[in-house]
Structures are given as C-alpha cells and as structure tokens.
Amino acid sequence: MRYRTIGDGDQAVEVSTLCLGTMLMGTRTDEETSLAILDRFVEAGGTFVDTANNYNAWGEGHGRDSEDLLGRWLASRGVRDQVRVATKLGAGKKDPTLPLSNTPPTNFEGLSAEVVDREAHESLRHLGVDRIDVLYGHVDDLGTPLAETVAAFGKLQAEGVVGLAGISNVALWRLVEAREEALRQGVAPYALVQQNLTYAYPTPDPGRHNWASPELLDYAASTGADGRPSLTVVAYSPLLQGAYVRPDKPLFAGFDHPTTHARIRTLHEVAAELGATPHQVVLAWLLGGDVPVVPIVGASSVEQLDELLDAADLDLPDELRARLDAV
C-alpha cells in the first residue's frame, strides 16, 4: 500500500492512497462478509474508510447501517488509532416518511448550521468515536447561505469534533467560494472534495455538478502553497459499479456514448498487455495522473478487494498511459 498526506499543518494526516467505501455494508453485504473485508483492508495497509449518514436509506436499511457496522468493527478490533474515518451529512432524509431521490423533490436534509451540528454528533454516536477524521457535506445546499454552512463546519473543527472538512457533489465555483469564505471567516476551509471520476467521462451537461472536471483538477493542483490550503480530490464510483467488465451492467447516465465504448476497448487491451485487470488499470490511471486523486473502492467480497488492492502498487508505463489518454 502507498500513502499520501491530506490536510495542512496540525490537521494534516496520512492516509492510504486507496479509500474503502462501505456503502453496502450492513445491508446488501452481510455483517460477516463486511467485517472480513474491513479486516483484510487494514491487514493490507489500508487506513482510510468512507461512509455516510444516509447509506441505504433508499432501500434495505435505515440509513446509518454502514456507520453502525463501522462502529462495531472499530470497537471490536481496537483499530481506531490506525484508521481514518470519513462520513457525510446533508443528504439524509429531511422527511423520514418520504423517499430519497437524486432529482427534485430530493428530500435532502441540507447543510444548515442546525443540521450540520446535529448530524455530526449523531454520526459520532453511531460510529462510537469522539472525533470524525473527515466530515463531508454530501450534496451542496443552494438553499442555505454558504457563510452559514462554512461557519458550521468551522465550528466543529474548532471544537475538535471534526478533523478535516470536505464537500461532495458541488459546482467548482461553489467550492472555490466556500474556501474563500472560510478564509474570510478565519476558519479551516474544505480540505477535500469528493466527486465522481473515472477513466471514461460523461457528455457535457451544464447541470452535472458531481463530476471532477479538468478545471477542478487544475484548481486542486494549484493548492498547497502559501496562502492556498491544500485540496485533495477524492473519486467516488471510479469503476462505474462494475460496468467496465460486466456488459450486463448499464453505464451511468451520460456515459453511454461512442468514446466510452472506445475507451473500454482500449482499457481491456492495455490490461491484457500488462497482465492486469481492467479495474486495476483504471485505479492505477487515477492514482498516477498529473493530479493524483484518492479513489474510493467498494467490494462485496474479500476476493474482489484483493484485486483492487493490487492497483495501489501498479505503475502504468508512460507509453500505455499515453495510449489510454489518447482515446
């Protein structure tokens, strides 16, 4: 496993370059299997895990199933000091009687100061910890003044309840403005942004704010200097939930176009030449780019996880990276 530093100064922490996503743990992935996956991740040197306060509230669970399972695992294994835990708030159910949706009406709880404070402390309770290493706003909230949200995250950091703050599913201008607002308030700015990013890319859509665009990556590359606190880009769904290797899995909305199909063909060719799997090549492509990101990987078995872990130490030869990029 390899590692990188996120955050700055006293709040800087080292994490594994692969982050383990736990969205389905405690629901679709049963507890025994989930615990085995977590154990294997730590055994392999993994130190960064990701969850949220609403996972599976749309189907099989109550929303905090993943946080609850992580809490039981941390307590039973005694690994709290080894693991950095990230969770999210803001996309839980505002009205518990209504469903969640990615399109209006979303029923998201939002990022008001009251929600941020309440849900952060609930996550502490469910995780069984006294500090959240990384706390994200799960979905940007245009209905709450940005200054209010920024102040709420800054307050939690000042109190020591949260180590680093982050935001997900956000337009670039909103991310930049939020970080500038934090500096104006004298509080710690967002240190991470979690967006969808993978080898394939979606067709342009003015309404798509969950994609890690080239402009976002360029902005992240400019940070980490004096007066510009560092920003780490975290990539969710880097493997398109298996669509690279399973023809029966539909591509995400916006991804089903000729360039994606050409990229998938080239991906398989490069993987065969390397003696690697397509998933390993995608992760290595993300990890070794001009702006390295932290991919979040999910697995429903230890065998799947072992395949993905091997990507952490896979370096793509320059000529093969150039071939992948050229499609």
pLDDT at 237: 97
Tally of CB atoms within 10 A around 168: 22
Topology of 3-241+291-315 in CATH? TIM Barrel (3.20.20)
* 88 pLDDT more than 80: yes
> Please, are residues 69 and 36 in contact by the beta-carbon 8 Å criterion?
no
Average pLDDT over residues 273-297: 97
Percent residues over pLDDT 90 in the chain: 90
* 20 pLDDT more than 80: yes
pLDDT at 104: 84
Average pLDDT over residues 258-277: 98
| DSSP code at position 205 | -
State pLDDT tens for residues 187-244.
Answer: 999 999 999 999 999 998 988 999 999 999 999 999 998 889 999 999 999 999 999 9
Question: pLDDT-derived band of residue 105, with 50, 70 and 90 as boundaries?
Answer: confident
* 273 pLDDT more than 90: yes
Question: pLDDT-derived band of residue 98, with 50, 70 and 90 as boundaries?
Answer: confident
Question: pLDDT-derived band of residue 62, with 50, 70 and 90 as boundaries?
Answer: confident
* 58 pLDDT more than 80: no
pLDDT at 96: 86
State pLDDT tens for residues 132-175.
Answer: 999 999 999 999 999 999 999 999 999 999 999 999 999 999 99
Residue 218: C-alpha distances to residues 10, 46, 212, 314 (Å): 25, 27, 10, 24
Question: pLDDT-derived band of residue 264, with 50, 70 and 90 as boundaries?
Answer: very high
Mean pLDDT, the chain, integer: 95
How is residue 298 written in tokens? 């999910």
Single pTM value for the model = 0.96
pLDDT at 97: 85
Question: pLDDT-derived band of residue 318, with 50, 70 and 90 as boundaries?
Answer: very high
Question: pLDDT-derived band of residue 86, with 50, 70 and 90 as boundaries?
Answer: very high
The contacts found for 284-289 with CB under 8 angstroms, 24 or more apart, are 284/311, 284/314, 284/315, 284/316, 285/199, 285/316, 285/321, 285/324, 286/197, 286/198, 286/199, 286/235, 286/238, 287/2, 287/17, 287/18, 287/311, 287/312, 288/315, 288/316, 288/321, 289/217
Task: Say whether 36 sits in a helix, a strand or coil.
Answer: helix
For 198-223, b/e burial (b = at least 16 CB within 10 A) is: bbbbbeeeeeebbbbbeebbebbeeb
* 112 pLDDT more than 90: yes
> Please, are residues 239 and 198 in contact by the beta-carbon 8 Å criterion?
yes
- The domain limits of the chain are 3-241+291-315
Percent residues over pLDDT 70 in the chain: 99
pLDDT at 189: 97
Could you tell me whether strands 13-16 and 232-236 are parallel, antiparallel, or unpaired per DSSP bridges? unpaired
pLDDT at 258: 96
